[in-house]
Each structure stands twice: as C-alpha cells, then as structure tokens.
Amino acid sequence: MNSEPVLQLENLVKRYDREVLNIERLTLHRGKIYGIIGPSGSGKSTLLRIVNLLVKPDQGVIRYFGRSYNGAGDTLFLRRQMTLVFQKTLLFKTTVFENVAYGLKARGFKKREIRDRVYVLLDKVGLRGMAHRQAGTLSGGEAQRVALARAIAFEPKLLLLDEPTANLDPANVELMEKLILDRKMTADMTIAMVTHNIFQARRVADEVIFLYNGRVAEMGNVEQVFTAPQNPQTREFIEGRMIY
C-alpha cells in the first residue's frame, strides 16, 4: 500500500524554444526517496524548478498534499513545505551557524532552541567546529553539507535535491548520502533527488524515475528498474550505452 501523495503532476508541459517537459502523470508518496535520472537535457532540473515554483509550467495540474495549485495566490505556505538544494550551493554571506539557523528562525523557534538545534545539525554533518566560520571560506564539500543541514532545518515535507553531490570527492559524497539516508534526520520527508550517477540512485533511492526527452520513460522500484527495466532507453542508460 502506498502512503498518501505529497506531489501529483498531471499533463505537465513546459516549452522553451521546444517542448522540454511533458509529464502525463507522476505521483510522489510520503516518506519515500525518489531518484530522478536521465540524460543531460532530459528535463530533470526543469522538473524540480517547476515543483519548487521557480519556473511556471505552460500547462498542467500540480497537486501538493492533495490540493491543487493553480499558479496564483499566496505561495508562502507551499514554499515553507519544500526546499531545493542545488548542485552549486548558494550559502548566505554569513557564518555557518547563521546559515543553518536561518530556517529555524523562519519557523519561529526561540533563540535557545535555535542554538541547540543548529548544533545538533552541525554535529550530524560533521561541522560543529566550523560554526563560526564564514560560509565563503568553506570547501565545496563542506559548503554542500551546510546547504543540506540548512535545508533539513526547515523540516520540509518535500526535499528537492538537484545533483547535490556532483562536484564532491568520494568521501563527501558518502557523507551526503548518509545524511540523506538518515531517516531520523529526514523523518517524514519525501525526497526527490536528481542525480547523474546511476550507482548513487541505486544506493539512495526507493523509487527511480527515468526521464527521457522530457517524459517519464520509466518509473518503479529501484531494484526492479535496475534489474529488469521495461523501457529499452532505460536499459541503454543504466548500462552506460546511451550516447548523449
């Protein structure tokens, strides 16, 4: 039995100079980790940007938590339910501590509680000792861990990750994957993670979505998609035979 839907897309279309996304139907269920894979240009980032309300679709229906969103009105409530972490982190030009505290302040926590929670999060990402460093002085891997801690501090219902480990060394990739998989930390979050790395999708995801030319070419349980893909393109892609 699937848990309740967090996100439902219907006939979602986005065109730039050509159609780049066309999703007939896609549902993300609560508490699952989705790995979104597909060749470069297949629409993975566009999909996350639309879901995160950064980009408007040309057509289609989006339902968040069972309620349809028509593209108008107050989005503050929705924006508080989801966070997008990019490949290239944009941290605020302040300390590590303040970066992580930001989400907690936004959620109205008292000063003392903010401090306690920030240190718990920094412990988790292995950066307690860097709380008072300026974010701009961090290495790429450290910055990305701060970005994840900041995102998780919001306790979003939907955590969107766009290639969060693309520029990291293997040790930092492993750390990030551990954090994502630490379901005590990400309790109750539905996670949609775009990754170029099919091995990472296999390690992290419960369900895999394969985008091809802006369409969902395949979706299913991670083992099923990797061991018995239904779509020939999926097979080519996961076997590394797809040229793009």
| Window contacting ligand ATP (CB under 6 A); options: 41-49, 76-84, 91-99, 106-114 | 41-49
> What strands lie across the sheet with 215-221, from one edge to the other?
82-85, 158-162, 190-194, 33-37, 207-212, 215-221
Q: Under the criterion CB under 6 A, does residue 44 sit at the interface with ligand ATP?
A: yes
Q: Which is nearer to ligand ATP, 196 or 215 (CB)?
A: 196
CB 240, min distance to ligand ATP, A: 15
CB 54, min distance to Mg ion, A: 13
Q: Which is nearer to ligand ATP, 16 or 77 (CB)?
A: 16
Q: Among 11, 41, 106, 223, indicate the residue that binds ligand ATP (CB under 6 A).
A: 41
- Residues 166-225 touching ligand ATP, rule: CB under 6 A, are 196
**DSSP classification of residue 54:** S
Choose among 201, 196, 209, 162: nearest CA to 181.
201
Choose among 88, 92, 90, 85: nearest CA to 134.
92
With CB under 5 to 8 Å by kind, the binding choice for 43 among Mg ion, ligand ATP, none is ligand ATP
Choose among 95, 96, 101, 94: nearest CA to 117.
101
Chain centroid offset of residue 64 CA: 15
Q: Under the criterion CB under 6 A, does residue 56 sit at the interface with ligand ATP?
A: no
Q: Which phi and psi angles does 30 have, rounded to 5°? A: -60, 135
What is d(CA 52, CA 225) in angstroms, rounded to the nearest whole number? Answer: 26
Q: Under the criterion CB under 6 A, does residue 2 sit at the interface with ligand ATP?
A: no
Per-residue exposure over 65-101, b if at least 16 CB sit within 10 Å of its own CB, e if not: beeeeeeeeeeeebeeebbbbbbebebeeebbbbbbb
Q: Which is nearer to ligand ATP, 39 or 229 (CB)?
A: 39
With CB under 5 to 8 Å by kind, the binding choice for 227 among ligand ATP, Mg ion, none is none
Q: Which is nearer to Mg ion, 45 or 83 (CB)?
A: 45
| Interacting residues toward ligand ATP by CB under 6 A | 16, 20, 38, 40-46, 196
